[in-house]
Amino acid sequence: MKINSSEQNIANVLARFESALEPELVTAGAKAAASEIKAVLLDLYRRQGPQKDLLQKLIESGNELKKDIEQFLRSEAPQTNGLGHAATNLNCFDDLAQHYDKLSTQLFLLLEELRTTPQESAEVAKLMRRGAEWEVAYFEGIQKIPVEMPSHVDLLDPPAPELSHEYLQRFFDGKIPGLQVKKFERLSGGHGKQTYLCTILRPDGTTEDRIIRKEDPCPVIVHPQFGLEREYALLKALNKIDFPAPKVYEFGKQIPGPDGVDGAFATMQLLPGAIPSNFLASGGSKFSEDLLLHMAEVLAKLHSVPLEIFSDYFEAWEDPNIAKQTTRDRYQNCLEQWIEYSQEFEHLPSAYLVWILDWLLKHIPEDSRAPVLVHGDYNVHNVLAENNRMTGLLDWETADFGAPEQDLAYIQPLVSKSMEWSKFLQHYHACGGKEVDESRFPFYLAYGVLRVVLAFNRATLNLQKRWSPDIRFNMVELGYQAVFMRMGLSYTETAPS
């Protein structure tokens, strides 16, 4: 898979620095340091392009000067060392700089010799001055190179602004007259969707904090099954029963144009509690056994949700006969849809994706059970907890209908670092969980990895195409990709029976 270029990474860092960090600096010292950091970053950016051309020209002119000085001192044509010809075949700034440095040293030695020559002539003065002019040419030249940062390519036509306080107020004016948006801020995290917190004031004087979940204008998965509208519809159905998922309220569609918004959004309940850990940090952490046992209890409840409550959802978003399918048929259909998706929408060529799709199709477990509701990303980074009790389960974009082993396999590595897996599984069963065949875990783990690496692939493409300037997606290459790809390879070393 194509990796991100240095030029692109530096441009993303500069854009993020200017938009997120520079406005927060208040002291004179911090502002001065910021100016120095930007200058260095801009220099690194120029080194990826026009600054290389400058060095190449200076190496050529420096070789000409070297030849002229040697000819004057020796009164004969010098022997070339091939320095200039070698440099013309280089594309790396650092390699060109090494050639420039060697040439600079050679010119220094020649000018020292020229300075001590007994010959006093206008030609000596001219050659000496050319040496000085040659050296200053680089430092002057880099100041004159214009910096043209790559522009963001907007996929909306016409483009629309981000969700704002003002737009949200207009949205509520059309839904709930008299309601006021008192506070509106974006929260960190949320690589798949954007997350905001708002405080609303009702006409009766009461206030309420709500979460706003919003689609990114350049999503990492453009499959309709991962869209916010589908997630909203699924949660709307799940809200019919007592389950610790956020209640959803209003839904707003993406509206192109200067008075619109660049992505669909949904308002939902702010649940109490805090997230115990993010994904990358959770691998080295241990968690309370009480919390994990409660997660086992909630997972058993999730897998026992009656599918009848999703009848309207199935009509709109799925095959209405999904409850009559076998779990094996469900995964067969889903994999075929993922293959179609990967071919229909542009992705970076990836040997890994070819391999994992092939492996999954050849190892679908035989399973005649009916599908159950699965979360698809059931782990501590999507859980809210308080006093070692789950208060909420978040981020339902990967939720689907499949095998209970999918969620259990996904959380097993984390649980096993903090308590006996058999105790977790025993509690899951005691709370009404489904029967489990652990020999099928490799397939379901690899299936979960498939969807993630598809998202990572598209996120990287979004950066490389300039469709998204979001520097957080650089973390795909710098952290997440290695973790998930290795997970897929490790889990498939043992094929499911």
What is the per-residue pLDDT across 417-439, written as a single tens digit (0 to 9) for each? 999 999 999 999 999 999 999 99
Domain residue limits at 15: 6-46
| Residue 468 burial (CB count, 10 A) | 24
**8 Å CB contact between 228 and 215:** yes
**At residue 30, does pLDDT exceed 50?**
yes
Q: Residue by residue, what is the 3-state secondary structure of 51-90?
A: HHHHHHHHHHHHHHHHHHHHHHHHCCCCCCCCHHHHHCCC
Is 155 inside any structural domain? no
Residue 220 has pLDDT above 60, yes or no: yes
CATH code of residue 466: 3.90.1200.10
Domain final residue pick, 114, 144, 174: 144
Residue entry with tokens 């002539």 = 121
pLDDT at 330: 95
365 and 228, same structural domain?
no
Instruction: For residue 2, give both structure tokens.
Output: 């194509």
Nearest to 414 by CA among 386, 438, 378: 378
DSSP-based three-state secondary structure for 345: coil
Residues 265 and 358 in one domain: no
**Residue 82 has what pLDDT?**
47
Residue length, the chain? Answer: 497
Closest CA to 401 of 237, 282, 207: 237
Whether the pLDDT of residue 191 is over 70: the answer is: no
Last residue in a domain, options 248, 269, 290: 269
Split at pLDDT 50, 70, 90, the class of 150 is confident
User: Is residue 149 domain-resident?
Assistant: no
Q: Which of 72-76, 115-119, 164-168, 276-280 bottoms out in mean pLDDT, i.e. has the lowest?
A: 276-280
Query: Is 84's pLDDT higher than 50?
Result: no
Which range among 76-85, 237-246, 327-336, 425-434 shows the weakest confidence by mean pLDDT?
A: 76-85
* Number of domains making up the chain: 4
**Rounded CA gap, 100 and 106, in Å?**
10
Statement to judge: residues 101 and 172 lie in one domain = no
CATH of the domain at 225: 3.30.200.20
Nearest by Cα to 45 from 149, 137, 138:
149
198 phi and psi angles, rounded to 5 deg: -135, 150
Inter-residue contact 62 to 103 (CB < 8 Å)? yes
CA distance 254 to 268: 17
What is the rounded distance in angstroms from the CA atom of residue 298 to the CA atom of residue 410? 15
Give the gyration radius of the chain's Cα atoms.
31
211 occurs within a structural domain: yes
Has residue 494 got a pLDDT over 80? no
Closest by CA position to 268, among listed 246, 253, 239: 246
> Are 338 and 322 in the same domain?
yes
List the helix and strand counts (H, then E) for the chain.
18, 9
If asked whether residues 64 and 36 sit together in one domain, one would say no
| 73-82, 282-291, 469-478: the lowest-pLDDT one | 73-82
Q: Are residues 365 and 480 in the same domain?
A: yes
Mark whether 287 and 420 lie in a shared domain.
Answer: yes
Same domain, 343 and 417: yes
Closest CA to 297 of 466, 129, 468, 411: 411
- Spatial distance between the Cα atoms of 99 and 92, rounded to a whole number of angstroms: 11
Residue 154 lies in a domain: no
Say yes or no: 317 and 374 in one domain.
yes
Q: Using CA atoms, how far apart are residues 449 and 335, in angstroms rounded to an integer?
A: 13
- Of the CA atoms within 13 Å of residue 379, those in its CB half-sphere come to 23
Report the pLDDT value the prediction gives residue 259, as an integer from 0 to 100. Answer: 93
The dihedral through the CA atoms of 432, 434, 439, 442 has a sign that is negative
Do 337 and 455 lie in a common domain?
yes
Instruction: Let me know if residue 156 belongs to a domain.
Output: no
Q: Which of 219, 249, 269 is where one domain is finished?
A: 269
Range 96-124 average pLDDT = 90
Q: State the pLDDT confidence band at 88, using cuts at 50, 70 and 90.
A: low
Contacts of 241 (CB under 8 A, 6+ apart): 305, 306, 309
Query: 327: closest CA among 490, 437, 455?
Result: 437
Query: If pLDDT is split at 50, 70 and 90, which confidence band does 323 have?
Result: confident
pLDDT of residue 1: 87
How high is the pLDDT of residue 201? 96
Asked whether residue 159 is assigned to any structural domain, the reply reads no
CB 260 within 8 A of CB 158: no
Are residues 448 and 375 part of one domain? yes
Q: Is residue 157 part of a domain?
A: no
Residue 83 has a pLDDT of 52
What is the band of 81 on the pLDDT scale with cuts at 50, 70, 90? low
Give residue 435's pLDDT.
Answer: 96
Domain-located, residue 413: yes
Exposure b/e, 437-453, CB count within 10 A at least 16 = b: eeebbbbbbbbbbbbbb
Cβ burial, residue 243 (10 Å; 0-12/13-18/19+)? middle
Residues 457 and 376 in one domain: yes
Residue 86: pLDDT above 60? Answer: no
CB 114 within 8 A of CB 128: yes
Average pLDDT in the chain: 90
Q: Give the mean pLDDT of 4-31.
A: 87
pTM for this entry: 0.80
The region of weakest confidence among 144-158, 210-224, 402-416, 453-467 is 144-158
Q: Residue 476 gets which letter from DSSP?
A: I
